[in-house]
Amino acid sequence: MNQVFEWAPGVKETQIVQNSLYEIEVRMVPDLGFDEQRDRTILETELRKRIGASVRIRFIVVESIPRTKNGKFRAVVSNLKVESDAERELRSSVEEGLLSGGVGQ
């Protein structure tokens, strides 16, 4: 993914944030020569080559990108909750009333 951002000359820093399977947010920090339309088009074209057409891309211009508590820069942030097959099956069984939700029942 790093190569995607090398093509946008007016963007100083970027961060991808994924809050759902179907949408990513691209945070852009402008640099000298920033042209929002041009740089957005370049980034979207390069991202589409890698993630396809089904994922929505939302671009946001920001003054800075927050660092972690340790001061590190995270280029990609995933806020997705991953559920294993076993967890999904158990949740489904409880929802369908096949298993009791209480402990020791």
CATH number at residue 69: 3.30.300.30
| Residue appearing with tokens 């088009």 | 41
104 located within any domain: no
75 located within any domain: yes
91 located within any domain: no
Q: How many domains are contained in the chain?
A: 1
57 located within any domain: yes
Find out whether 50 and 31 touch, Cβ atoms under 8 Å. no
Q: What is the structure's pLDDT at 1?
A: 65
Angle at 62 between CA 81 and CA 45, to 5 degrees: 75
49 located within any domain: yes
Domain assignment of residue 14, given as a range: 2-80
11 located within any domain: yes
Query: What is the chain's pLDDT, residue by residue, as a tens digit (105 residues)?
Result: 667 777 788 999 999 999 888 999 999 999 999 999 999 999 999 999 998 999 999 999 999 999 999 999 998 898 988 766 776 677 677 767 665 545 444
Q: What is the structure's pLDDT at 30?
A: 96
97 located within any domain: no
User: How far, in Å, CA of 53 to CA of 84, rounded?
Assistant: 26
85 located within any domain: no
Find out whether 28 and 47 touch, Cβ atoms under 8 Å. no
